[in-house]
Structure 1
Amino acid sequence: MPTISMFYGVIIRMYFAPNEHPPPHFHVYYAEFKALVDIRTCEIMEGNLPKKQAKLVLAWAELHQDELMANWSLVMNGEEPFKIQPLQ
């Protein structure tokens, strides 16, 4: 699963497999925490993160929603997603 962005100890990844399940989402890893974030709603749909990291990730997702959806289209076609600018 390629890493598409990293910031403040947070790792953002997407599977690139045509059979990845909807809705469009990405995977977040921070220390021992894991979460799935819905790209369309920018909400955590599964798992959990510490409050501070959750706020950072969701703000980043809103800023990069169009790029995340473009990446989702790529991964649904079995193509590797591109890197997205980290939160500064």
Structure 2
Amino acid sequence: MPTISMFYGIIVRMYFAPKEHPPPHFHVYYGEYKAIVDILTCEIIEGNLPKKQTKLALAWAELRQDELMADWELVLNGEEPFKIQPLQ
């Protein structure tokens, strides 16, 4: 699963496989924590993160929603997603 962004110890990844399941989403890792974030709603739909990292990851997702959706379209076609600018 390629890493598409990293910031403040948060790693963002997206699977690329033609049969990836809806809703459009990405995976977030922070230490031993992991979560799945819905791209359309910018909400955690599975797992959890510490409060501060949740706020950072969701703020980043809102800012990068269009790029995340473009990457989602790539992964549905079995193509590797592009890197996305980290939160700064």
Do both proteins adopt the same fold according to a TM-score greater than 0.5, normalized to the shorter chain?
yes
Q: 1:21: Cα distance to partner?
A: 0.8
Aligned residue pairs: how many?
A: 88
- Distance (whole Å) between structure 2 residues aligned to residue 51 and residue 18 of structure 1: 33
Give CA deviations for 1:10-33 in whole Å, capped at 9, x if unaligned.
000000001111000000000000
Question: Runs of at least 4 residues of structure 1 off by over 2 A?
Answer: none
- Distance (whole Å) between structure 2 residues aligned to residue 53 and residue 41 of structure 1: 17
- Paired-residue identity, %: 84
| Structure 1: tracts of 5 or more residues without a match | none
Which residues of 2 match residues 17-36 of structure 1 at below 5 A? 17-36=17-36
- Distance (whole Å) between structure 2 residues aligned to residue 15 and residue 80 of structure 1: 8
- Distance (whole Å) between structure 1 residues aligned to residue 51 and residue 18 of structure 2: 32
| Structure 2: tracts of 5 or more residues without a match | none
- Distance (whole Å) between structure 1 residues aligned to residue 25 and residue 72 of structure 2: 8
The alignment yields a C-alpha RMSD, in angstroms, of 0.3
Which residues of 2 match residues 1-40 of structure 1 at below 5 A? 1-40=1-40
Partner of 2:83 in structure 1? 83
